[in-house]
Amino acid sequence: MASLITCPHCGTRPKEEFSIRGAAAPKRPSPTAKDEVWHAYVYVRDNPKGRYQEYWHHIAGCRRFLVVERDNLTHEVFGVTDASEFKWAGAAE
Amino acid sequence: MSINLLHRHVLEDHISGFETDPNPNHLSIIRRAVIFTVLAHAGQEAAVAEALWNAPDVAPRFCSPSEWLAVSRTVGAETVAGMLSEIAGASVVDQSDGRVLMEISGPSVRKILAKCVAIDLHPEVFEEGHSAAILCCHAEVNVARTGADTFEIIVPRSLAGSVFEELMEMGREHALTRGFVD
C-alpha cells in the first residue's frame, strides 16, 4: 500500500493518518432511482487491479475527504486532490 | 547534589518519585490555557484566516482549510471570545475545557518528538509559528513550533492522559521532566 500521501492541505503524511473510504469512481444514483440501481451502487463493486481512484479521509489531519489516484499494484501515487475540487473524467455537470 | 550510589536503592525513584526539578528537557502542562475553535463559513476562509492572524493576544493554529484553533496564555476566555466574535463570517466555540495545552522544550525536543510525529521538524521546514494537525501517540493533536526548541501540543481532553504518558516515556532517555504551569 502507498505509505506516504501528500495531502493538499497538510503536506506529506503517513497512511496511518487516513481512513480509506472506498472507490471514488462509482457515481451516486439519484434518490429516486430504482432499487436495482441502488443495489448495484452500494453492493456490486469492481475490484480493479492497477490505476484506481479512491476516497481517503484525512481523519488525523485536516479531516477533509481527498481523492487519491494510485496504482494498487505498484503502490505509486499519481495525485491527491481535495474531493470538493476533484474534476471527474467525463463529468458533464 | 551528589548522590552516593552505594546507598541508593535501585527502586529509590520508583518509591519517592522521579526528578521533580525541571531539567533542560521539560514538559509543561498549562493549567489555564484559553483555546477556541474558529470555523470559517463557506467562501470566507481567506478573510477569516487573515483576521485571525492579525488578532492580538491569540496564537492561531492551523487545523484545516476552514478551521483553526486560537490559543492564548495571557488573556481570559471572555476577552478572546469578544475579540473573535467580531470576525465576520466565522463561528467561534470555546474549547478551553475540551483541550489540554502542553509545552515541550529543551535541546533534545526534536529527538523526542521525532518518535511520535511523522513530519519533518527541522527549523527550515517547520518554522517558528508553524502548526500542523497531526497524529501523535495515536491521538489527533495540533503541534506548533513556538520557539527554536519549544513546541506546543494541543490534545483532546480525553486523550491527554495517554499522550502525556507516552511523551514522558519517549523523553525518558533524555531525562524529560514535567510540571504544571499557571
Q: How far apart are CA B116 and CA A70, in angstroms?
A: 27
Inter-chain Cβ pairs, chain A and chain B, closer than 8 A: 41
Confidence (pLDDT) at B6: 67
- CATH number of the domain at B80, please: 3.30.70.1520
Yes or no, beta carbons of A17 and B135 under 8 Å apart? yes
Half-sphere exposure of B31 (CA within 13 A, CB side): 4
Instruction: Name which of B164, B175, B180 is nearest B108 in CA terms.
Output: B175
Mean pLDDT of A55-72: 94
Q: Nearest by CB to A14, from B118, B132, B140: name it.
A: B118
* Contact map slice: A 45-84 vs B, CB within 8 A: 59-64, 82
Grid coordinates given for A41:
451502487
- Domain-ending residue, one of B59, B76, B94: B94
* Cα A70 from chain centre: 9
Residue A92: what pLDDT?
43
Residue B3: pLDDT band (50, 70, 90) is: low
Q: What is the mean pLDDT of chain A?
A: 89
Residue A93 — pLDDT band, cuts 50, 70, 90? very low
Q: Are strands B26-30 and B177-181 parallel, antiparallel or unpaired?
A: parallel
pLDDT of residue B142: 96
Residues from chain A that touch B135, judged by Cβ atoms under 8 A, are 13-14, 16-17, 60-61
Identify the pLDDT of residue B14. Answer: 74
**Min Cα–Cα distance to chain A from B138, Å:** 9
**Domain annotation covers residue B74:** yes
Mean pLDDT score across all residues of chain B? 90
Q: State pLDDT tens for residues B98-155.
A: 999 999 999 999 999 999 898 999 999 999 999 999 999 899 999 999 999 999 999 9
CA distance A13 to chain B (A): 7
> Are residues B104 and B170 both part of a single domain?
yes
Interface of B with A in 16-35 (CB under 8 A): none
Say if residue B117 is in the same domain as residue B161: yes
* Alpha-carbon radius of gyration of chain B: 18
Do B105 and B80 lie in one domain? The reply is no
From B94, B123, B143, the end of a domain falls on B94
Residue type, position B176, single letter: L
Residues of B in contact with A16 (CB under 8 A): 118, 135
d(CA B45, CA A59): 20
> Distance between CA atoms of B165 and B124, rounded to whole angstroms?
29
Q: Is residue B12 part of a domain?
A: no
Q: Tell which A residues from 13 to 52 touch B, by Cβ distance under 8 Å.
A: 13-14, 16-17
ipTM over 0.90: no
Strand partners, A53: A69
**Best residue of A6, A63, A65, A81 to probe chain B, by most B CBs closer than 10 Å:** A63
For position A88, what pLDDT does the model report?
72
Minimal Cα–Cα distance from A17 to chain B, Å? 6
The answer to whether residues B78 and B106 belong to one domain is no
A52 with A73: CB under 8 angstroms? no
pLDDT at B37 over 80: yes
Tell the CATH topology of A4-85: Folate-binding fold (3.30.2270)
CA atoms of A88 and B9, how far apart (whole Å): 69
Cβ-Cβ contacts under 8 Å, B126 against chain A = none
Residue B8 in domain: no
Residue B6 lies in a domain: no
Please tell me whether residues B161 and B125 are part of one structural domain: yes
Cβ of B64 within 8 Å of Cβ of A62? The answer is yes
Residues contacting B138, CB < 8 A, separation 6+ = B162
Q: Which residues of chain B have a CB within 8 Å of the CB of A10?
A: 132-134
B85 shares contact with chain A (CB less than 8 Å): no
3-state secondary structure of B134: strand
Q: Is residue B119 a contact partner of residue A13, using CB atoms and an 8 Å limit?
A: yes
* Euclidean distance between CA atoms A15 and A58, whole angstroms: 9
| Co-location of B53 and B42 in the same domain | yes
Q: B30, B32, B20, B21: which is closest to B104 by C-alpha?
A: B30
Task: Give every CB contact of residue B24 below 8 A, 6+ residues apart in sequence.
Answer: B106, B107, B108
Query: Which residue range is the domain that position B102 belongs to?
Result: 20-31+98-181
**Residue type at B88 in one-letter notation:** A
What is the CA angle B145-A57-A35, rounded to 5? 165
Say how many domains are in chain B.
2
B3 located within any domain: no
pLDDT range class, residue B159, cuts 50, 70, 90:
very high
Residues β-bridged to residue B26: B105, B177
pTM for the full predicted model: 0.85
In a domain, B173, yes or no: yes
| B94-106 confidence digits (pLDDT tens) | 999 999 999 999 9
- For residue B78, being part of any structural domain is answered with yes
